[in-house]
Amino acid sequence: MTKKSIIIDTDPGIDDAVALAIALFSDELDVRLITTVNGNVNLEKVTYNTLRLLQFFDKEVPVAKGAEKPLIAEPVDASNVHGETGMDGYIFEEPDNSLLLDEHAVNAMYKEIMNSNEKITLVPIGPLTNIALLLKLYPEVKENINEIVLMGGSTGRGNVSVMAEFNIYADPEAAKIVFLSGLPIVMAGLDVGLKALVYPEDSELLKDMNDTGNMIYHLFKKYRGGSFNKGLKMYDSCAIAYLLKPDLFETVDTFVDIELNGELTKGTTVVDLKGYLNQESNAKVCLDINGAEFKKWFMESIKKCK
Ligand code: BDR
Ligand code: CA
């Protein structure tokens, strides 16, 4: 089986940590590079968290540190959801940092994409700053990118303001560059993230499943992405699920733009389901997910981890 070659751009983040676990232990994915971006917590913390996770998983994937700030917007933070460290709840060993590259994430992505024999799929699960910089600085990479499968946006309401989802709100200008880049985009946003739930009985099973399950269990105890009792939202795992099991999703090809100037709606993904804007479709938007099947897949995926 040929594996799909991917680069994950991330801001761990508890649900990012889970998505990384699933991707790194999948037989169908080849994670070539992990790049970090300011998002849930600051760049230093998310990079440190990525290195801590790789050490925990015993996986050797190069890591490159990316943007410290959004392109234009003021930085926002989600430590109210993920804790001060971004991954509160579990005591990890100190990482040895040998996987951290000297170069900036954008340059590391550029090299990885241009030197690859197969087209690369980009999987951003944080704000889109690094990806926007990559596409603007090195537009030639588009030739060797298969598609961008991202977690972000919503066809309806937001989770950080009335209408905006966190990853898009955190850097709307970057999101606009990415959505209007001409590359094929898959948007796995809140429509599916809100239904990709892990319940207390699942968390209990994870606790004794294996080392990863146990680590995740402890992070979940501190995660405020939903409620431990009513279901925790596995937003970022939806992007990985789409790569591995697209049949879980109902999608529509449509036009998506980003609101930059709205007085109350900055960072909204304007998903033109009815064609008011008369534009060609630029994204495959996930509208729905089979929650029960997702959960089955999720538990099986964690079982494959260390
Ligand atoms: C997104 O925001 C972050 O807090 C999560 O990691 C996820 O990527 C959900 O809106
Ligand atoms: Ca994230």
* Closest ligand 1 atom, residue 14 Cα: 6
pLDDT one-digit tens code per residue, 260-305: 999 999 999 999 999 999 999 999 999 999 999 999 999 999 999 9
Sign of the alpha-carbon torsion through 203, 206, 212, 217: positive
Q: What's the confidence (pLDDT) of residue 253?
A: 98
Distance separating alpha carbons of residues 191 and 235, to the nearest angstrom: 10
Strands of the sheet containing 185-188, edge to edge, are 63-65, 29-36, 4-10, 120-124, 145-151, 185-188, 283-289, 249-258, 269-272
DSSP code per residue over 254-267? EEEEE-SS-TTTTT
Query: Residue with structure tokens 């990806």?
Result: 131
Q: What domains appear along the chain, each with residue ranges and CATH number?
A: 4-303 (3.90.245.10)
Distance separating alpha carbons of residues 38 and 82, to the nearest angstrom: 14
Distance separating alpha carbons of residues 146 and 49, to the nearest angstrom: 28
Total residue length of the chain: 306
Distance separating alpha carbons of residues 140 and 99, to the nearest angstrom: 27
List residues, by chain if needed, whose CB lies under 5 Å from ion ligand 2: 11, 13, 16, 125-126, 236
> Which of 252, 50, 271, 18 is closest to 165 using CA atoms?
271
Buried/exposed 66-100: b ≥16 CB within 10 Å, e otherwise: bbeebbebeebbbeebbbebbbbbbeeeebeeebb
Please tell me if the CB atom of residue 166 comes closer than 6 angstroms to any atom of ligand 1.
Answer: yes
pLDDT band at 223 (very low <50, low <70, confident <90, very high): confident
pLDDT one-digit tens code per residue, 7-25: 999 999 999 999 999 999 9
Q: Which two tokens stand for residue 87?
A: 């991954």
Find the ligand nearest to 82 CA. Answer: 1
Angle at 25 between CA 24 and CA 27, to 5 degrees: 110
Residue of 16, 235, 242, 269 best suited for mutating to test ligand 1, as the one with most atoms within 8 Å of CB: 235
Please tell me if the CB atom of residue 235 comes closer than 6 angstroms to any atom of ligand 1.
Answer: yes
pLDDT one-digit tens code per residue, 14-59: 999 999 999 999 999 999 999 999 999 999 999 999 999 999 999 9
Question: How far is ligand 1, taken at its centre, from the CA of residue 1, in Å?
Answer: 31
Question: How far is ligand 1, taken at its centre, from the CA of residue 71, in Å?
Answer: 18
Please tell me if the CB atom of residue 40 comes closer than 6 angstroms to any atom of ligand 1.
Answer: yes
State CA 173 to chain mean position distance: 18
pLDDT one-digit tens code per residue, 151-197: 999 999 999 999 999 999 999 999 999 999 999 999 999 999 999 99
* Closest ligand 1 atom, residue 78 Cα: 4
Name the residue at shortest CA distance from atom 2 of ligand 1.
Answer: 166
Mean pLDDT of 65-94: 95
Strands of the sheet containing 226-227, edge to edge, are 197-198, 231-233, 226-227
